[in-house]
Structure 1
Amino acid sequence: MNDKYKIPYINACVRAFAKQFHLSIKNAFLYLYRFKGMEFLDEFYEAEHLQSIDDAVDDLIIICQKNGGQLA
């Protein structure tokens, strides 16, 4: 974890995801973890953090759906 902004960025993405789907932050995290959204944010942070949080949430929706998630 070389970038000091990585954790705050991932936190902001989880919070934005939770807000969009009216979930608690804990449930949003658990959903993203289960359907590989957290893994995606960690692995592709270098590219994702250059986009808006809304774009990241859109990407998370796609990734989670591809891994069996049903929120949309």
Structure 2
Amino acid sequence: MADQYKIPYFNAVVRAFGERFKLTVQQAFRYLYNFKGIHFLERNYDVEHTLSIEDAVEDLILICKKNGGELA
């Protein structure tokens, strides 16, 4: 993680995801980790960070659903 803004960005996205589904930060992170959302954010950070946080949350919903997640 060379970019100094990656961790704050991930934090903001995880928090927004948690707020959307009324999850704690820990629950949101575990869900995103288990259903490949964190992996998606890391792999696609260069594009995702140029979008709004809301767009990133929408992308995560789709990715997690594709990988077996049931929140949505």
Task: Name the TM tier (shorter chain).
Answer: over 0.9
Kindly provide the amino acid, as one letter, of the partner of residue 50 in structure 2: L
Partner residue in 2 for 1:37:
37
Regions of 4+ moved over 3 Å: none
Partner residue in 2 for 1:26:
26
Q: How many correspondences in the alignment?
A: 72
Partner residue in 1 for 2:62:
62
Structure 1: state its 5+ residue gaps: none
Q: Distance in 2 between matches of 1:17 and 1:33?
A: 12
- Shift in Å at residue 21 of structure 1? 0.2
Kindly provide the amino acid, as one letter, of the partner of residue 55 in structure 1: D
Kindly provide the amino acid, as one letter, of the partner of residue 37 in structure 1: G
Partner residue in 2 for 1:51:
51
Does the residue aligned with 2:47 lie in a helix, a strand or coil? helix
Q: CA RMSD in A?
A: 0.3
Kindly provide the amino acid, as one letter, of the partner of residue 17 in structure 2: F
What fraction of aligned residue pairs are identical, expressed as a percent? 61
TM-score, normalised with respect to structure 1:
0.99
